[in-house]
Amino acid sequence: MLSSIRKFSKSFLGKIVIGLIAIAFVAGFGMGGSFSGKQNIVAEINSDKISSQEFVTYLQRVGITKDDIEMAGGKSELIQKVLMNYISEEIISMESKKKGVQLSERSLFEKLIDDKKFKKDGKFSQTKYEKFMLSNGLTKPYYENLVRETEVKDQLLNFYSGGIKLPVFVINDLYKKENRVIKINYISLTEVYGKEQISQIQIKDYYEKNKSSFNQVYKKFKYLKLSPETLIGKKVFDEEFFKKIDEIENAILDGKGFEEITAENRSGIQNVDFINIKKIKEDGSAFKSIDNKSFNEIFKIEDKNSPKFINSDNNYYLVQIIESKTKMLTLENKDLKKMIESQIKVLSQIEKIGKLIGDINDQKFFEKDMVELSKKNNIPINSITIKNITDDSKFSRKLLKNIYQFNKGQIFVMPGEKENYLVKIVDEDNPKIDINSDKYKVYVKKANAQYIGKIYKSYDKYINANYKIDIKSTVLKRIENSF
């Protein structure tokens, strides 16, 4: 009972397509209460009506199952999501007709055969194409329609952004922004504030105030990994494998127990003794047999002695929680004491850095204060010259983007992933670019891409402004009740 919509919605492509075509509806509209006596109309897009029968036919084509409903958080939530997607498809169709945008069968064919994931030895592989459909639970018409819709939206956005010619000063400004040679002085705030000594009294006080946070849940469970090798003796995710998965899901729904379901695969059953969410057993050993994402899903299970099916990124498991218990960690636990000490230091740093940022913003902190901070804590002020925004010899690209937002003379706090810095831009040199050079051509493309990106972001606002969506909630409720 693994339906196409469930498998597809978990796939990477599914997330992209839903994200592209549903944004406008989700962001700008919602569930209205209007009914207006139109008993056979479930929604209107401007003056265009979507009939109940039309939407019901679409729902039937999707093929909703009980598992889909449970996974989506309920029948109402799932049907609303399907309606959102359907409305988005209709808007794309309207927009493409209005602008004369379409994707011919030939263009679709060329796009598919040019897709790298379907190629083998540089050529389109029908076998890889078929395997992709099977492993993602898709049909060819469904997938090809999704590719068509995505490509049409891309063409629409290209339609709005086509013919852009930015002025020279915009290209020059972008080049200067990314290629300024910057000299900075910096000091590690992590070293400055990390010297603080935490007393036993502070640790005990923190523990007492946050005692409830130190309860640790341990669970004992058994599982069977549902791999193709285990279920069908092969290494491929084919139709036979998914049929077996369906049978296992049906068996769970029919109330069968773990032992009965796994009768043919008992040799593959694994027992895991009491273990916490960090995958550490009571004896302190680490558990590595299950990937982190799947393990987290397993640990969420509350019901005991009831088999559960887990599907996480094409990793399938049948799991049963045997026992669960809670242990209170005490200060005798050395790891806990270290964690509390570290947490106190982090909170102290956050407080002090917050005050420092406030002083900088209020113009109460200057270069002389930076020198004094260095001397007081015996932490040196370092100097470095950064050649451009990609010069990651000292700082990461992410931090460089932060630095390049400031100008000569400015002092600011720069938070890093592992270390925080206090930085002053001491000097800068603005380079010039030759408009006849190849580098200039590169920056023309880069500036255009940034400008187009802004157009892409405004596309959903355009949809909101030009399409009025009216959901007939009473009619939609009646459709929900019929399923």
Report yes or no: 44 and 50 within 8 Å, Cβ to Cβ. yes
Q: Which two tokens stand for residue 184?
A: 């900075």
Counting every residue written for the chain, the total comes to 483
pLDDT of residue 67: 66
Read off the pLDDT of residues 327-359 as tens digits, 9 standing for 90 and up: 888 888 878 888 898 889 888 888 999 999 999
Q: Which residues pair with 383 in a beta bridge?
A: 185
pLDDT, tens only, 77-92: 888 888 887 887 788 7
Q: Which residue has the higher pLDDT, 318 or 283?
A: 318
State the pLDDT at residue 6: 35
Burial class (CB in 10 A: 0-12, 13-18, 19+), 297: middle
What is the pLDDT, as a whole number, of residue 243? 92
Fold exhibited by the domain 215-328: Chitinase A; domain 3 (3.10.50)
Residue 408 structure tokens: 């000569």
Q: In sequence order, what are the residues at sequence separation of 6 or more whose Cβ sits closer than 8 angstroms to the Cβ of residue 244?
A: 226, 231, 232
> CB–CB of 188/419 below 8 Å?
yes
User: Chain centroid to CA 449: how far?
Assistant: 23
Is residue 285 predicted with pLDDT exceeding 50? yes
Higher pLDDT, 177 or 156: 177
Residue type, 420: N
Phi then psi dihedrals of residue 14, to 5 deg: -60, -45
Rounded to the nearest integer, the mean pLDDT of the chain is: 82
According to DSSP, the β-strands at 411-415 and 420-429 are antiparallel
49-66 core/surface letters (b: 16 or more CB in 10 A; e: else): ebebebbeeebeebebbe
* pLDDT tens profile 176-231: 888 999 999 999 998 998 877 888 999 999 998 888 788 889 999 999 999 999 99
Q: Among 227-231, 315-319, 451-455, where is mean pLDDT lowest? A: 451-455
Instruction: Assess whether pLDDT exceeds 80 at residue 34.
Output: no
Tally Cβ neighbours within 10 Å of residue 29: 18
The dihedral of CA 66, 69, 70, 71: what is its sign? positive
Does residue 373 surpass a pLDDT of 90?
yes
User: Of the ranges 11-25, 255-269, 334-348, which is most confident?
Assistant: 255-269
Q: Is the Cβ–Cβ distance between 258 and 320 less than 8 Å? A: yes
* Residue 375 CB neighbour total at 10 angstroms: 10
Taking residues 90-114, what's their average pLDDT?
77
| DSSP for residue 381 | P
